[in-house]
């Protein structure tokens, strides 16, 4: 397919991540991790908004209430966008102060799934993936990770994808959307830097997995068995995460980062750090909300 890629918002995020489609308000939200903020673009008014947080925002999700569930470095919080109140639910890793929380999404079970990462320059496999509930539980599901990433679920809620963006693999799990239990973990892909190490991702209604290749400036579309169906070059060198949205869920939104990108590269790629958009031939799987 010949994709027309445009810049929706020239946000110039230092570390744009975690795009989330809000179908109830017809808006796109995303985080700037290093900017310690959540942003939104309202499709009805064309206006943008920014909520500043006290620390880096690894990821966030929507709640059934107007609140957001937010991963800050030291724990998972409920955030009230109206008055800025924060309520910590749980710190999954109090014993690991050199880790921080990273990629996270609300799953089909209504829990917030969030992974951690080793935040030191020399990284080790000391991170993990957690299932966080409104009952202030954080159950460890996968450990031995370096940078947990790439969470996404199939439309029927019975398949979960998960990656490690430094170890550069993608796993598929069977998933119970009622209980949140995972089983049959299967390694479906291992990527090179040239192919694009797997960062944030989304799943379409056909069950294909769209993964930002952060090291190669591409978007890779995989089938459920990990075969690459297509590789889409992007006009930014470091894409970080994608999500489906729009009234028909056939718009794909892509975040990217500027931090540590050389100026000469920024000069050639002026949309770096912006929010890209393109139309796809298939709708994305629905967005879930945290049962707070």
Give the CATH number of the domain where residue 245 resides. Answer: 2.120.10.30
pLDDT at position 5 over 90: yes
**Could you tell me if residue 286 is inside a domain?**
no
pLDDT band with cut points at 50, 70 and 90 for residue 279: very high
pLDDT at position 1 over 90: no
**Could you tell me if residue 38 is inside a domain?**
yes
Q: Report the pLDDT averaged over residues 10-29.
A: 98
Reported as a single tens digit per residue, the pLDDT across 92-144 is: 999 999 999 999 999 999 999 999 999 999 999 999 999 999 999 999 999 99
Residue 70 belongs to what domain range? 6-279
Reported as a single tens digit per residue, the pLDDT across 219-252 is: 999 999 999 999 999 999 999 999 999 999 999 9
Please indicate whether residue 91 is annotated as part of the active site. Answer: no
**Could you tell me if residue 172 is inside a domain?**
yes
pLDDT at position 292 over 90: no
Provide the whole-model pTM.
0.97
* Length, in residues, of the chain: 292
Whole-angstrom Cα distance, residue 71 to residue 139?
15
- Range 189-198 contact pairs with CB under 8 angstroms and sequence separation of 24 or more: 189/222, 189/226, 189/228, 191/220, 192/168, 193/168, 195/220, 195/228, 195/231, 196/220, 196/231, 197/165, 197/166, 197/168, 198/149, 198/150, 198/163, 198/164, 198/165, 198/168, 198/169, 198/170
**Could you tell me if residue 23 is inside a domain?**
yes
- Overall domain count for the chain: 1
**Could you tell me if residue 285 is inside a domain?**
no
**Could you tell me if residue 1 is inside a domain?**
no
Reported as a single tens digit per residue, the pLDDT across 28-67 is: 999 999 999 999 999 999 999 999 999 999 999 999 999 9
**Active-site residue, selected from the candidate residues 32, 103, 199, 204:** 199
**Could you tell me if residue 62 is inside a domain?**
yes
**Could you tell me if residue 292 is inside a domain?**
no
């Amino acid at each position: 397919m010949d994709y027309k890629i445009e810049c929706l918002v020239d946000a110039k995020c230092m570390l744009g991540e975690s795009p989330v489609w809000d179908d109830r308000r017809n808006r796109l939200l995303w985080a700037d991790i290093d900017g310690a903020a959540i942003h939104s673009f309202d499709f009805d008014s064309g206006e943008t908004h920014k909520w500043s947080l006290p620390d880096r925002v690894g990821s966030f999700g929507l709640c059934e209430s107007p609140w957001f569930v937010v991963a800050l470095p030291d724990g998972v919080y409920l955030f009230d966008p109206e008055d800025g109140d924060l309520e910590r639910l749980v710190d999954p890793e109090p014993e690991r102060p050199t880790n921080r929380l990273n990629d996270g999404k609300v799953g089909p079970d209504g829990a917030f799934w969030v992974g951690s990462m080793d935040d030191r320059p020399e990284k080790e496999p000391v991170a993990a993936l957690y299932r966080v509930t409104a009952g202030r539980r954080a159950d460890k599901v996968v450990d031995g990770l370096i940078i947990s990433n790439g969470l996404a679920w199939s439309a029927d809620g019975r398949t979960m994808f998960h990656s490690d963006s430094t170890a550069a693999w993608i796993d598929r799990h069977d998933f119970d959307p009622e209980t949140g239990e995972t089983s049959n973990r299967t390694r479906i892909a291992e990527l090179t830097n040239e192919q694009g190490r797997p960062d944030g991702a989304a799943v379409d209604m056909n069950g294909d997995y769209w993964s930002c290749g952060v090291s190669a400036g591409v978007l890779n579309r995989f089938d459920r068995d990990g075969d690459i169906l297509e590789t889409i070059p992007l006009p930014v060198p470091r894409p970080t995460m994608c999500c489906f949205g729009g009234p028909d869920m056939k718009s794909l939104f892509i975040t990217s980062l500027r931090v540590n990108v050389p100026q000469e590269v920024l000069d050639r790629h002026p949309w770096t750090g912006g929010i890209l958009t393109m139309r796809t031939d298939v709708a994305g799987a629905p967005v879930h909300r945290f049962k707070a």
